[in-house]
Amino acid sequence: MTDGIDDPGDVLGRYEPLVDDVESFREACARPLPAVVRVNEIKATPDEVRAGFEEEGIDFEPVDWHDGLLRLPDGDPGHSWAYVHGWVYGQEEVSAVPALVLDPQPGERVFDPCAAPGSKTTQLAALMEDTGLLVANDSNLGRLSALRSNAERCGVSNVAVTKSDARNFSLKPFSEGDEDEPFDRVLVDVPCSCEGTIRKNPDALADWTLDHVQGVAGVQKGILERAIEMTKPGGTVVYSTCTFAPEENEAVLDHALANSACDLVEFDLPLESRPGVTEWDGETYDPAVERARRIYPHHNDTGGFFCAKLEVAA
């Protein structure tokens, strides 16, 4: 298998066959990413945050597809009153998509296996109205420290923080009886090659290699398989990455469909997106991967993202 790159320094060129407007795609990837905050509705309403920003003289612009997201033309207000008191969380716009697709309900059992530093964890907690059980796991101790700090700042009380390799996570500590008690929903936002973050991290592709992409894809497959095993029949698993690489996206879903009891399901997005791809670099994937959604930077002036929704077989 080749890496599909004529110029080893041009990783984005690898994905030109997948995009509808190459010039716009490249131009968008070269622009800085707008700063965005998400309103933490455990502590405040969007109206309260807007009023607070106006009082502090912080400029903001509404995000048309989500009332709780605000773009900040002057950058991240990390030292603002609203941030310090947990009213807002700095979160890339498309990063808010997976939790919305998962749609956790108050009182449910929800698992976030790759949780740190906590942007999606705190969003899940707010969607759950800070009730039920939210297990937030990560394998990196340093990142877990940031997760705990962010959860505390945002007033999250329904979270249990754990340190484990998500591929081998045990349900036992969170089961009341002798039998493992599965989760209602799992958000699998896996570590990835981060190609879609280039607008925020211009150096994200500096050390890119196909070996790394293929290696992390193996980890992603293991995490998704274990997540499906831990979800109750009829439950929901959302898989997401911030990379363009089909090896980390559609290929991982193809593996799950072939080896786990699950189906990919359709879902609506309030953002412009494209379906998953069924062929890449000589490989063919299950046609169901078209039900996944690809978000490219030039379509919504965001970072790049990939999201898929799976239903565990009953």
- Using H for helix, E for strand and C for coil, what is the string for 36-58? EEEECCCCCCHHHHHHHHHHHCC
- The stretch 62-89 carries a mean pLDDT of 92
> What are the C-alpha distances in Å from 236 to residues 149, 183, 240, 309, 312?
28, 9, 13, 7, 6
Give 299-309 pLDDT, tens digit per residue: 999 999 999 99
Name the residue among 79, 100, 97 with its Cα closest to residue 88: 79
CA distance 23 to 169: 43
Q: Which amino acid is at 230?
A: M
Spatial CB neighbours of 165, under 8 Å, sequence gap ≥ 6: 139
Q: What percent of the chain has pLDDT over 70?
A: 97
Give 58-71 pLDDT, tens digit per residue: 999 999 999 999 99
Give 245-293 pLDDT, tens digit per residue: 999 999 999 999 999 999 999 999 999 999 999 999 999 999 999 999 9
φ and ψ at residue 112, rounded to 5 degrees: -120, 90
Query: Does the predicted model carry a pTM greater than 0.85?
Result: yes
Catalytic residues: 242
User: Given pLDDT bands bounded at 50, 70 and 90, which one contains residue 176?
Assistant: confident
The pLDDT assigned to 81 comes to 92
CA distance 264 to 183: 18
User: Given pLDDT bands bounded at 50, 70 and 90, which one contains residue 9?
Assistant: low
User: Given pLDDT bands bounded at 50, 70 and 90, which one contains residue 5?
Assistant: very low
Written as six digits, the tokens of 215 are 């290696």
